[in-house]
Structures are given as C-alpha cells and as structure tokens.
Structure 1
C-alpha cells in the first residue's frame, strides 16, 4: 500500500522521516510556511541522509514565496541527495501567504509556475516572466554535478475547486485533496478529476488521487472529542477552508447539511476581513497546526470530525482506509497537525494501518 505521512517541518524532528520509513510509509512530506515552520528543504536534505527508500518532498510549497526557478533548483538538489525518491508538492499557499496577510496564488500563477518547473526539471529551455520581463532560462549544468535532472520528480498538486482540478489534470502526477472516509465526497472528486484529465487530453488514470486526512488513533475509553483534544486539534477546519467552494457547487449530491457546516466553519475560522472587529492575520494563524486552538473548539463538531478525519480504533482505521481506497482514492495520506505528538501518531499508523499492508 502506498501511504503518505506529512507534518510541519520542525528542524530538530528530522528523525520522523526515518520513523515513517520504518513504519512502512511510502512517502513523507513537510509543509512550507515562512512565518510558521522550519525551512522544508533544509529539513528534507537532512532527512535524505537518514533514509534510504521512502520518497521525500514538499507538502506543499507554492509559486509565490519562491520563484519557479528557485523551486526547481531546490527540488533538483534534493533529487541529487535522494535520487528517484523525490517529489514536489505544490499548492496555492493557503497558509504560507494568508499568514503573511497576502492572497494565495492565482490559478494563472500556478499554471505558469508548473509549466516552468516541469520544463526545467525535464532539462528544457523555457520562457520565464519575472520583474516585468520574459527571458529564456534553463539549467546550465548538463552533467549532473550540481543537481539531478536524470531521475524524474513526481509532481503533486494540492487542489480545492474546479480550476485547481483542471490544473492538476494538466500538470500533475498526483492530486492531493482533503478527504475523509466518506464515499460520496470521494466519488464526486474522483469523477471530476477523471473528467478534467480527459478534457486535458491525457490517458485515464494519469493523475492519481491522494486523500489527505487528519489522523488520531483512539485509546480504550476515548471518543471523537479526544481526537480533537489530543490529536488533530484544529486540523478539520483546514479541510473546510479548502473544500467550501467545491462543495457548494455539488450541494445537490453532497447534501446541504455537511456543505453548510463546512462552509460556516471555514468562514468562522478566517473571519470577515472587511469587518471592523476582524482579527489580525497574525493572530488568526498564530496557532495554525500546533494542535488545538481553544478558540476553534466550538467550531469542530462530530459531523465535521466524522467527515474529514481518519480516526478510530486500529480495526476502524484499517476499515476506513480500505473504504477510502475502494471509493476511488489511489492513495491515502495523513497530515499530522501537531508536531509535538507526531512520533506517537507515526507509531500508531505503523501498528494499525500499515501493519498488514
């Protein structure tokens, strides 16, 4: 079974990558947020030295905080340290840009960046627009001295709405989408992705669907609320933020109840920036992916936890993971939203989901 584990880049927790490899995970990724976490490439370079088989990558970077040639160089450099086991996860920078008070990347910026990055990694000369000028660029080391272009790099794109699906269908090898163990939601995303792949003129199955869930293994006597307090914390709200627009477009299939609940939670988290009492963006993001922000506790209901989270006893975790695969996911992944409990969670994933995989 392919299974991806992701967490925040915390530079003194590089041993988590080795732990994930030993647990049986096929991929390990770290997020990027200049004001939030440690630098992902420094983390991944160290992780490459401690591992031998697990695939390593950004989960995710974005096209704005680093310009495309810089991102291409960083991932090609990592590919020299971990040949043929490097992947580039990229998205619109929901947290990286919003935490700086800026907008996420536009789809046109994502499109241009992916064209440039994929071309450079393929050893091509490409056109790149920067500082108001269009210039031809290419990697100038053709001998593999400084970075590795010989081994292919998987491109993962994190998507939300229909425009994101269309871009993933054009450029990506994998598309990451926030999904829990709910066949109806998985089915809608799978169908729309397959349609987008066909519209892009690529063969069926060209883009694998990766479900991103929030994880917690229940101990005897625990219930869903323990998952919030001791596990994924505010994580489910992130799924609500990225999915709200897409869900509204498919409300007839998904049901008004969960669509409204997810949208309301997302709006309550972000706040209205135009309101007089709107929270400062630094205050909004100060506790992002650090466990539970007590202010979010009233927003996270059992309905949202059941919809977006992979939680339960070991037997339930195995059953839910298999359900997600049977419903149309090619891979299941979890993002460990509390770096201080990540080692515990990786051990739980290994002993429950991956033990017999």
Structure 2
C-alpha cells in the first residue's frame, strides 16, 4: 500500500523519516515556510542519507520564495542523493506567503513556474520571462557531476479549486487535495480531476488523487475532543482554508451545513476582510502546525473533525481508510500537524493502517 506522510521540516527530527520508512510509508514530504519551519532541503538531504527506499520531496514549495531554476536545482541535487526517490511537491504557498504578510502565488504564476521547472528537470531548454526580460534556461552540467536529471522527478501538486485542478492536469503526476472520509466530497473531487485530465488531453488515470487528512488514533475512553487537544489540533481549519472556494463553487452538490461550517471556520481564522481591525499576520501564524492554538479551539467542531480528519479507534481508522479508497482516492496521506507528537502518530499509522494493508 502506498502511503504519504507530510510534516513541517524540523531539522533535529530527521529520524522520523527512517521511522516512517520502517513502518511501510512510501512517500515523505517536508513543508516549507521561511518564517515557520526549518529549511526543507537541508532536512531532506539529511533524510536521504538515512533512508534507502522512501520517496522524498517538498510538501510543499511554491513559485515565489524560490524562483523556478532554483527549485529545479534543489530537486535535481536531492535526486543525486536519492536517485529515483525524489519528487517535487508544489502549490501556491498558503502558509509560507501568508505568514510573511503576502498573498499566495496566483494560479498563473504556479502554471508558469511548473512549465519552467519541469522543463529543466526533463533536460530541456526553456524560455522564462523574469525581471522584465525573456531568457533561455537549461541545466549546464551535461555529465551529471553536480546534480541528477537522468532519473525522472514526479510532480506532486497541492490543489484546492477548479483552476488548480486544471494546472495539475497539465503537469502533475499526483494531485494532493485536503479530503477526509466523506465519500461524496471525494467523488466530487475525483470527478472534477478526471474531467480536467481529459480536457488536458492526457490518458484517464494519469494523475493520481491523493487525500491529505489529519490523523489521530483515539485511546480507550478518548473522544473527538481528545483528537483535537492531543492530535490533529487546528488541522481541520487548514482543510477549510484550502477547500472553501471549491466547496462554494459546488455548493449545490454538497451538504449546505458543511459548506457553511467550513466557510465560518476559514473566515474566523483569517479574520473578516471587511472588519476595521485585522489580526496581525505574524500573530495569526505564530502557532501554525505546532499543536493546538487554544484560540482556535472554539472554531473546531465535531462536524469539521468528522468531515476532514482520519481519526478514531484502529478499527474505525482502517474502515475509514478503506472507504476513502473505494470512493476514488488513489493514495492516502496524513499531514502531521504537531511535530512534537510525530513519532507517536507515525507508529499509530503503522499499526492502524499499514500493518493491515
């Protein structure tokens, strides 16, 4: 069974990648946020030295904090350390840019960055317009002494709306989408992705759907509240943030109550754009993916947890995981929302899911 784990890059915690590999995890991604986490490329380089089979990549990088040529070089360099095990995970950078007070990259910027980056990684000469000038680019090491572009680097794209799916359909091998165990939401995203792939002229099934969920294995006597307090914490809000545009566009096909609840949580997290006073972005993001921020606790309801999270007893988790695959997901993924409980969560994923596959 293929299974993906993503986490924030924490440079003194590289050992969890080997733990994940030993548990049967096939893909591991390190998050990028210049003001939030350790640098993912240093983290992944160390992980490449400590592992032998697990696939490694960014989860996710973006077109703005690093220009495409630098992103391509970083992945080609990692590919030299982990040949054939490197992937490129990229998105618009909701957290990396917002935590610096900037808007995420536009879909058009992501589209063009993928064109340049994938072209370079494929060994082609590409044209890029940068700083008002149009120039040709290509990797200049033809002998593979400095980096590796001989082994393909699959593209993983994080998407959260119809335009994102269109770009993913053109460039990606995998599209990762925040999804929980709700079958109707999964079927809706699956349908829209398959349509985008067909419109892009690619064969059916050429872009795999990866569900990004928030995980917690309940102990005896624990409830969903313990899942929030000790497990996935503010994770469900992240799913609301990335999904709300898509959900509103397809509101007629979804339960109105979950659309309303997701919109309310996203708005409360970011702040009402029409309000006179806005929370400072540094304060908003200061506790992101570090466990539960108590100010978020009132925003996280059982409805959101049930919809966006993969949690419960080991039997319940396995049943939900199977249901997600049956509804149309090609691969399951968990983003660990608290690095300080990562070892526990990886062990639980191993026993509740991977050991049963």
TM-score of the superposed pair, with normalisation by structure 1: 0.99
User: 1: distance between equivalents of 2:102 and 2:279?
Assistant: 14
Aligned-pair CA distance for 1:276: 2.3
Aligned-pair CA distance for 1:128: 1.1
The equivalent residue for 1:306 is 306
Cα offsets for 1:23-82 (capped at 9, x unmatched):
000100110000000000000000000000000010000000000000000000000000
The equivalent residue for 1:335 is 335
1:54-93 matches, cutoff 5 A: 54-93=54-93
The equivalent residue for 1:27 is 27
Aligned-pair CA distance for 1:272: 2.5
User: 2: distance between equivalents of 1:279 and 1:302?
Assistant: 26
The equivalent residue for 2:48 is 48
Structure 2 residue 282 is the aligned partner of structure 1 residue 282: yes
Cα offsets for 1:295-341 (capped at 9, x unmatched):
10000000000000000111111111111001000000000000000
1:41-190 matches, cutoff 5 A: 41-190=41-190
Aligned-pair CA distance for 1:275: 2.5
Aligned-pair CA distance for 1:105: 0.4
User: 1: distance between equivalents of 2:126 and 2:335?
Assistant: 34
Structure 2 residue 268 is the aligned partner of structure 1 residue 268: yes
Please report the RMSD computed on the Cα atoms of aligned residues, expressed in angstroms.
0.6
- Report runs of 4+ in structure 1 exceeding 3 Å deviation: none
User: 1: distance between equivalents of 2:103 and 2:289?
Assistant: 19
Cα offsets for 1:3-29 (capped at 9, x unmatched):
001110000000010000000001001
Aligned-pair CA distance for 1:273: 4.2
SS of 2:156 mapped into structure 1: strand
The equivalent residue for 2:2 is 2
Aligned-pair CA distance for 1:249: 1.1
Q: Which moved more, 1:191-200 or 1:270-279?
A: 270-279
Unaligned runs of 5+ in 2: none
User: 2: distance between equivalents of 1:14 and 1:276?
Assistant: 43
1:224-243 matches, cutoff 5 A: 224-243=224-243
Aligned-pair CA distance for 1:277: 1.9
User: 1: distance between equivalents of 2:129 and 2:38?
Assistant: 29
TM-score of the superposed pair, with normalisation by structure 2: 0.99
Unaligned runs of 5+ in 1: none
Aligned-pair CA distance for 1:274: 4.8
SS of 1:248 mapped into structure 2: helix
User: 2: distance between equivalents of 1:315 and 1:83?
Assistant: 37
SS of 2:95 mapped into structure 1: helix
User: 2: distance between equivalents of 1:274 and 1:326?
Assistant: 42
User: 2: distance between equivalents of 1:237 and 1:143?
Assistant: 47
- Checking the alignment, whether the CA contact within 8 Å between 1:69 and 1:117 is kept in structure 2 is yes
SS of 2:354 mapped into structure 1: coil
User: 1: distance between equivalents of 2:272 and 2:147?
Assistant: 45
The equivalent residue for 1:245 is 245
Aligned-pair CA distance for 1:247: 0.4
Cα offsets for 1:272-304 (capped at 9, x unmatched):
245222100000000100110101000000000
User: 2: distance between equivalents of 1:32 and 1:86?
Assistant: 16
The equivalent residue for 1:15 is 15
Cα offsets for 1:94-121 (capped at 9, x unmatched):
0000000001001110010000001000
1:181-200 matches, cutoff 5 A: 181-200=181-200
User: 2: distance between equivalents of 1:4 and 1:215?
Assistant: 12
- Checking the alignment, whether the CA contact within 8 Å between 1:273 and 1:279 is kept in structure 2 is no
The equivalent residue for 1:257 is 257
The equivalent residue for 2:344 is 344
